[in-house]
Amino acid sequence: MRLMIVLLAFALAGCGTSSQVRADYARATSDKFTYEVVNTDGMAEEGLTILTSRLDALLAERGQRAAGSEPDAKKLTIEITNYYMRPGAARWLVGIMAGRDSLRSSVRITDAAGTVVGHTEINTKNATAFRTTDGLIADHAQEIVDFATGARKN
């Protein structure tokens, strides 16, 4: 039993998401969002698909995904500034010694006039073998939407 607790503690210790708010955003419940992902660090196409699918689902679930023609929609510009995922075999064979998966982005919210009204930096990482790449990217998308919609926990 103790061994299971120790293993669980190690599995959870290497996972996490952190964010640094550069300019907090004054949210309104009526806000709707569009987004653009700027892939400056060569995130794999599969990872981009997971990220955009999760962003679409979360914004729609909260009723805050803008239709293409909404003039007052805010725009999320998500710039991928760091993307590193360990190969699956390395993750399982050597775990933390193979490095850690990480996804970092700079997220800016602009209004219809193009003025930046909110900005945060988000860093999601995983040092264990127990967490999937899909889960890490989904958590990153969650943090982005939480910042934009006000659901972020401080």
Q: What is the CATH number of the domain that holds 128?
A: 3.30.160
Residue 60 is assigned to a structural domain of this protein: yes
Q: Could you read off the pLDDT of 96-133 as tens digits, one per residue?
A: 555 567 899 999 999 999 999 999 999 998 756 556 77
Residue 142 is assigned to a structural domain of this protein: yes
Q: How many domains does the chain divide into?
A: 1
Query: Which contiguous run of DSSP H or E holds residue 78?
Result: strand 74-84
Question: Does the pTM exceed 0.85?
Answer: no
Owning domain of residue 31: 2-149
Q: Are strands 33-39 and 74-84 parallel, antiparallel or unpaired?
A: parallel
**Is the model's pLDDT at 24 over the cut of 90?**
no
Indicate left, alpha or beta for 150 from its phi (over 0: left) and psi (-120 to 50: alpha): left
**Is the model's pLDDT at 143 over the cut of 70?**
yes
